[in-house]
Amino acid sequence: MKTVLLAALLAFLISLVLTPVVIKNAVRFGLLDIPKDARRVHKKPIPISGGLAMYVAVMAGMVVFLDLTHELIALMIGATLITVCGLIDDKWEMSAKVKLACQLLAAGILVFGGSHIEFFTNPFPFGESVIFLKALAIPVTIFWVVGITNTVNLIDGLDGLAAGVSLISAVSLAVIAYKFEYNSVSVIAALLAGSCLGFLPYNFNPAKIFMGDTGALFLGFMLSYISIEGIMKSAAALTIVVPVLILGVPVFDTTFAMVRRKLSGRGIMQADKGHLHHRLLALGLSQRQTVLILYGISIIFGLLANLVAGVDAQIGLFISLLTVINVVLIGKVSGMFKSKEEL
């Protein structure tokens, strides 16, 4: 536990000190988010690519606290690739196809390094206790990595939102990975949490810098890896449900967005103003109030995930199903399946 806390502290300090340097150089090199459409909440150009500070903090921490195994080197290469792609996108705006290709390549590097979702545990009192994916292991892993990477990117719409939700998710993942005795993974999760905490003073409303795709893609990529290695490789029941709950805010918001766009006849990747944070703002809440509410929801999801990870399989399944049903009902009542024009 001492190592986990020291890792979080080091990443926090590096991110806290380095972010002002990134702000200065972002302005110098023209890395600015200029408000040019109605989806953007800010009114003036803001430095972008703050994710570089978090990237450096996590990479440095891994070198200091962990042995450079084949798997860890693959993680570092994949994370570097996804961060560079995000940086290029922040500067020149990549096409969706090129961004997806970068994400698939980064996910493939993880798989090559040995990170696989090899099985799902069966929580039901019948059938095999473990369902092995076999030939599906690689495509399922790649789908998970790319999916989680993009869910974090999609909620990065308000000052401090993606960084705070990622911080809470990383803490929850660190606790569970430590319980499952995946000590190196808990250190990586702690590094990610510390880097987010160091970045937040500059990113919380009113933001002095945005993380950009540089940060959002990096955070999503790292969270996907941690969830695989820190939870899904355990034989404990409901290992697939636990990371979904931990990442509940971005996962459910993205799912609602895809369903909403499909029902309204739009492309599922077409941006809109129907995300949960947009709905809360439309109710008259301030940016800070909206972000704090979503932090609270993320904390609740994290607590539920820790509860599910530590109880009997059938009880955990009941809690999980009840949670999902309530989330879907709340989403329907609040209009999350309808476009803004239909409300």
The 10s digit of each residue's pLDDT in 232-241 is 877 665 677 8
User: With the C-alpha atoms ordered 173, 175, 180, 183, is the resulting torsion angle positive or negative?
Assistant: positive
pLDDT of 326 strictly over 90: no
pLDDT of 44 strictly over 90: no
Q: Which domain does 147 fall in, by range?
A: 2-342
Position 314 scores a pLDDT of: 76
DSSP summary character for residue 215 = H
pLDDT in tens, 90-108: 999 899 899 999 999 999 9
Position 73 scores a pLDDT of: 97
User: With the C-alpha atoms ordered 239, 330, 337, 89, is the resulting torsion angle positive or negative?
Assistant: negative
pLDDT in tens, 281-296: 878 888 999 999 999 9
- Residue pair 19/156 in contact by the 8 Å Cβ criterion: no
pLDDT of 121 strictly over 90: no
pLDDT of 39 strictly over 50: yes
Position 343 scores a pLDDT of: 47
Position 327 scores a pLDDT of: 85
Considering only 81-85, 242-246, 257-261, which range has the smallest mean pLDDT? 257-261
The more confidently predicted of residues 325 and 221 is 221
Of the candidates 7, 308, 14, the one whose C-alpha atom is nearest the C-alpha of residue 186 is 7
Considering only 75-84, 97-106, 160-169, 301-310, which range has the smallest mean pLDDT? 301-310
CA 273 from centroid of its chain's CA atoms:
20
Position 111 scores a pLDDT of: 96
Tell me the percentage of the chain whose pLDDT exceeds 90: 58
Of the candidates 114, 116, 138, 118, the one whose C-alpha atom is nearest the C-alpha of residue 130 is 118
How far apart CA 240 and CA 133 sit, in angstroms, is: 13
pLDDT, averaged across the chain: 88
Query: Sorting pLDDT into bands at 50, 70 and 90, what band is 223?
Result: very high
Taking the CA atoms of residue 262, residue 265, residue 267 and residue 272 in that order, the dihedral angle to the nearest 10 degrees is -90
Query: Sorting pLDDT into bands at 50, 70 and 90, what band is 308?
Result: confident
Q: What is the mean pLDDT of residues 178-202?
A: 95
Query: Sorting pLDDT into bands at 50, 70 and 90, what band is 34?
Result: confident
- Residue pair 246/301 in contact by the 8 Å Cβ criterion: yes
Q: How many domains does the chain have?
A: 1
How far apart CA 277 and CA 34 sit, in angstroms, is: 20
- Residue pair 170/218 in contact by the 8 Å Cβ criterion: no
Q: What is the mean pLDDT of residues 184-195?
A: 97
